[in-house]
Structure 1
Amino acid sequence: MGKRKKEKKNEWLDWLKALLIAFGLAFIVRMFFFAPIVVDGPSMLPTLHDGDQMIVNKFAYHLHEPERFDVVVFHASSKKDFIKRVIGLPGEHVEVIDNVLYINGEEMNEPFLTDQKDSLKSYQILTNDFSLEDLPGGYDVIPEDHVLVLGDNRGNSTDSRVLGVVSTDQIVGKTDLIYWPFNRMQTIGK
């Protein structure tokens, strides 16, 4: 009888160890590598919808810097994270004139806005004209370790036009996988 009790006790200890290790690994992965986030609001329409659930890759920018048109999550304040698209990189000048994005004076194609631009009437505006100098901070080029971000729904987005450029220290990570709702499951490209 004593041997059987000891075996049961060892079995429970083994299960407890396995569970603790699993929870520890899950905690480490969530803390340092991947985390879920829920899109809140219309600022990234039509790419992202309010309520879309996504995975944030927290590790991506430990390997490389953010790239143009990455969709990133960043700390907009101590209580709120935003999801926006990287438009301008350090050392660049950004402006929009007549719905056209210019980086260092060169016209840039924004493929994620093609459908929106195609549906505009000639008198409609997708993105109000602005220049980097007009934004908070008044920079003539984006400072080192900062990016300029915009929402895809340019008429309804609190982004760098209001917040100014975003420090790369504020960036939580890159996101490109919608996992819920099931009918919207997809990876979003540039």
Structure 2
Amino acid sequence: MAKEKSEWFDWVKALLIAFGLAFIVRMFLFAPIVVDGPSMLPTLHDRDQMIVNKFIYTIKEPERYDIVVFHASAQKDFIKRVIGLPGEHVEVIDNVLYIDGEEVQEPFLTMQKDQMKSYQTLTTDFTLENLPGEHEVVPEGHLLVLGDNRSNSTDSRMLGVISIEEIVGRTNLVYWPFDRIQIVE
């Protein structure tokens, strides 16, 4: 009888430890997220399921072109790509991204730009000063983010720059559906 009780207690203890570890991983390290909408097409598709790395920005700073998840509101998280970093001036003129006056390539938009007709616009012209907040440069502690589907994305052009405090983490692993499993660059 004592042996059965000891064995039962060992199982309960093992399950509690497993649930505790799962809770810690989910709360502080990694979390699942589902892409909602077309704003990151063709890179990410609506309903793609991804893993968010929640601790990466505790050990390093966000980098240009990272795909990040951030709190757009108390109820909604958005997935966008980092374009402008603190201290940089950002503008788009004739579908060309300029950072501090220098042309910057956006390799993730190459396919979209190649398929465009000469009269089409992928990204409506803007300068940082024209966006909400009217900043001359991206302020310290903030990022400028854009969706890859520039004609159908609610991003910094409408929201203004995003506080790094609102960043949940970086995501680049699509794990569902199976035919889309990939690491996104």
Corresponding residue for 1:80? 76
Which of 87, 112, 130 is matched with 1:134 structurally? Answer: 130
Structure 2: distance between partners of 1:126 and 1:67: 23
Corresponding residue for 2:96? 100
State the Cα deviation string for residues 72-104 of structure 1 (Å, max 9, x = none): 000000000000000000000000000000000
Corresponding residue for 2:150? 154
Letter in 2 for 1:159: D
Structure 2: distance between partners of 1:66 and 1:36: 20
Deviating runs (4+, > 2 A) in structure 1?
A: none
1:49, distance to aligned residue in structure 2 (A) = 0.3
1:58, distance to aligned residue in structure 2 (A) = 0.2
Flag structure 2 segments of 5+ consecutive residues without an equivalent: none
Identity of aligned residues (%): 75
Tell me the SS of whatever aligns to 2:3.
helix
Corresponding residue for 1:168? 164
**Is the aligned partner of 1:71 residue 2:51?**
no
State the Cα deviation string for residues 112-157 of structure 1 (Å, max 9, x = none): 0000000111110000000000000000000001000000000000
1:33, distance to aligned residue in structure 2 (A) = 0.3
Structure 1: distance between partners of 2:3 and 2:76: 50
Which of 39, 49, 52 is matched with 1:43 structurally? Answer: 39
Corresponding residue for 1:20? 16
Highest CA radius of gyration, 1 or 2?
1
Normalising by structure 2, what TM-score?
Answer: 1.00
Structure 2: distance between partners of 1:101 and 1:121: 19
Letter in 2 for 1:138: E
Letter in 2 for 1:95: E
Letter in 2 for 1:79: Q
1:12, distance to aligned residue in structure 2 (A) = 0.6
Letter in 2 for 1:48: L
After TM superposition, the structure 1 = structure 2 runs for residues 104-119 of structure 1, keeping only pairs within 5 Å, are 104-119=100-115
Letter in 2 for 1:64: K
**Is the aligned partner of 1:7 residue 2:17?**
no
Normalising by structure 1, what TM-score?
Answer: 0.97
Letter in 2 for 1:23: F
Alignment: residue pair count: 185
